[in-house]
Structure 1
Amino acid sequence: MRRDYLLRSLMFVPSHNRKLMESASRQNADVLLLDIEDSVQPLSNKKIARAMILEYLESGKFKGKTLFPRVNDRESGELLNDVLDLTVDGIEGFMYPKAKTGEDVYFFDKLLEIIEYQKGIEIGTFKIIPLIETSAAVLNVQDICKASARVIAIAYGSEDFITDLEGNHDIAHDSLQVPRAIIAMGARANDVIPIDTVHVRVHDLEDLEVNLKNSVNLGFEGMLVLNPKELPLVHQYYSPTDQDVLDAREMLTLAEEAANNGEGVAIKGGKFIGPPMIKAAKKILLKDLLIKSK
């Protein structure tokens, strides 16, 4: 089921800002993270943000969009208001911030379960994307992934992480490498999709491209996005090329022919087509299918 989600780009949208909500409704981000948390200040604007999300849902402006509001954290006093208002048709799930342990995610899972039960909604309808943004969260990443069957992905929040670590976000992003690798491995070990951190220098597309190459090498499947201008590059790097798709199809055809002929392995370009290559080819074709059906 988790592989049925296309999560190349997850774009934050301050949900109290009508201009930005209007712009977001016209963007082709795979997921809109309708923010009610950090970018929505002061506190009075959070009620406005919830109301505006409902308004845009009811108007049909978000029709066909995959929506994951970023709710407020467990200690904010606003979390219950967020989920009571927004557990409605058109919302796929929620980004859950400041998840430090698996217990935090389990708590949120049970809160959603109670609300689903009270509203007569099928239990498990709303999915969760925990945001990994503290040192504790990085060290507990596997527990967070395992805490709920609702967890389809985890996302790295580097700026809060660096603040919590009392470190520095250097120009080369070297200080982010270790946590990025841990998050990607923790997610993949638990069949959860890893989503990379935002690129904070949104106007530096050259630096974004360097980051994307690194991100793909680390195993990430998508990225948090702050600005629509980043979307073309983000989609390019997290999508298979036409050649990737052709090669994947050929691999599967050769492997099937070898099996039908009673041969142990197939060979392509002088290389054996083993089980890992077949598995990778199937993932490429599934992603290509999801992109084309979007």
Structure 2
Amino acid sequence: MSATNVRLPSQQAPLPRPRSVLFAPGNRADLIAKLPRSGPDAVVVDLEDAIPAAPEAKAAARPVARDAARDLIAAAPHLLVFVRVNALHSPHFDDDLAVLTPELAGVVVPKLETAQEAEQVAQALQARGLELPLMAGLETGAGVWNAREILAHPAVGWAYFGAEDYTTDLGGQRTASGLEVLYARSQVALAARLCGVPVLDIVVTALRDEAVFREDAGLGRALGYSGKLCIHPAQVALAHEVFGATPAQLARAEALLVAAHEAASRGHGAFSFEGQMVDEPMLAAARAVLAQRPEPASPEKL
């Protein structure tokens, strides 16, 4: 396919910045229907890692995933619903596209390694009459190395970093400290910031250890990630706690911006707030806090 840079109309406006993205296996309609119960900002019906690699298992999952995703969109219209297909060069990719429908928020594409691959996916979708933004999975050495050019592609709306696959690709080992992925994790966050793409942080496999999740999510937020991939419903509230703004933070940010407006109306460029001299970076930080105010309506209890 020629690299024509498919451009999606849906990307003319800023896309939502989910704090949490909760996964469910594409072959489990019962679990997919329950996804809204924990209140995630976005969900992913997974045809990749959550489904065995055998062709018959992939084939059996597709109609289940398609129907369950449609039912979920109808039942919870506030929710961002994605489908994760298998990687572009896998033998399952083309057949997975039959699951996708225009009502989806987007399609999650794992293991993207070049901007040309993003273009191939976008053209494959367009050939089926679909204009869905991509959530680009950067989870190989090449994907991290080419992160900026991949995320600059106009079809890419979101991104995530996959530490497990990245470490495997490099022949490394995951450790409790996570130092082995710190460089790559930082690179992906930086590329996303330069390209203006919301980026989701790595999964935490310790499903019921809240302290581990909070610590790991806190590092992700400090690095610049806008939300967290979640593989258990209990992780959703923790992700919102870390990546969202507390009522006290929102109130302080609002008060600071009101004070700045009042100071400007009096012709004062510099002023103090709560005993601290205010500068533009502080005002920018306050605006960023207010931008974290959750937009979605309360999830319906299915």
The answer to whether TM tops 0.5 is yes
1:113-132 matched pairs, under 5 angstroms: 113-116=126-129, 125-132=131-138
Higher relative contact order (CA 8 A, sep 6+): 2
1:248 maps to 253
Q: 2:273 aligns with which of 254, 268, 290?
A: 268
CA deviation vs aligned residue, 1:210-242 (integer Å, no higher than 9, x gap): 112211211111111111111121111011011
Deviates more, 1:251-260 or 1:59-68: 59-68
Deviation of 1:250 (Å): 1.3
In 1, the alpha carbon distance for the partners of 2:62 and 2:163 equals 26
Q: 1:232 aligns with which of 226, 231, 237?
A: 237
1:43 maps to 55
Change (3 A) 1:291 1:250: farther
Deviation of 1:192 (Å): 0.9
Deviation of 1:284 (Å): 1.8
1:140 maps to 146
Deviates more, 1:283-292 or 1:95-104: 283-292
1:106 maps to 119
| Unaligned segments of structure 2, at least 5 residues | 1-11
2:109 maps to 96
In 2, the alpha carbon distance for the partners of 1:108 and 1:283 equals 32
Percent identical among aligned pairs is 25
In 1, the alpha carbon distance for the partners of 2:284 and 2:33 equals 40
The one-letter code of the counterpart of 1:27 is S
In 2, the alpha carbon distance for the partners of 1:272 and 1:291 equals 35
Aligned residue for 1:33, secondary structure, equals strand
CA deviation vs aligned residue, 1:25-54 (integer Å, no higher than 9, x gap): 433111111101121123223233331233
In 1, the alpha carbon distance for the partners of 2:221 and 2:36 equals 27
Aligned residue for 1:68, secondary structure, equals strand
2:42 maps to 31
In 1, the alpha carbon distance for the partners of 2:82 and 2:275 equals 45
Question: Does 1:179 pair with 2:184?
Answer: yes
Question: Does 1:13 pair with 2:19?
Answer: no
Change (3 A) 1:19 1:87: closer
Deviates more, 1:183-192 or 1:23-32: 23-32
Aligned residue for 1:152, secondary structure, equals strand
Deviates more, 1:2-11 or 1:54-63: 54-63
Deviates more, 1:100-109 or 1:127-136: 100-109
The one-letter code of the counterpart of 1:106 is E
CA deviation vs aligned residue, 1:180-229 (integer Å, no higher than 9, x gap): 11111111111111211100121222211211221121111111111111
Deviation of 1:3 (Å): 4.8
Contact 1:132–1:154 at 8 Å: present in 2 too? yes
Q: 1:86 aligns with which of 100, 104, 112?
A: 100
| Unaligned segments of structure 1, at least 5 residues | none
In 1, the alpha carbon distance for the partners of 2:248 and 2:186 equals 27
In 1, the alpha carbon distance for the partners of 2:143 and 2:264 equals 45
The one-letter code of the counterpart of 1:127 is P
Deviates more, 1:171-180 or 1:137-146: 171-180
Change (3 A) 1:264 1:63: closer
The one-letter code of the counterpart of 2:201 is D
When normalised by structure 2's length, the TM-score is 0.87
When normalised by structure 1's length, the TM-score is 0.89
The one-letter code of the counterpart of 1:251 is L
Contact 2:114–2:142 at 8 Å: present in 1 too? yes
Change (3 A) 1:15 1:62: farther
Question: Does 1:196 pair with 2:198?
Answer: no
In 2, the alpha carbon distance for the partners of 1:289 and 1:132 equals 26
Deviation of 1:102 (Å): 1.5
What is the alpha-carbon root mean square deviation over aligned residues?
Answer: 2.0
The one-letter code of the counterpart of 1:243 is A
Change (3 A) 1:3 1:278: farther
The one-letter code of the counterpart of 1:202 is L
Residue-pair matches, total: 285
In 2, the alpha carbon distance for the partners of 1:7 and 1:96 equals 17
In 2, the alpha carbon distance for the partners of 1:155 and 1:286 equals 20
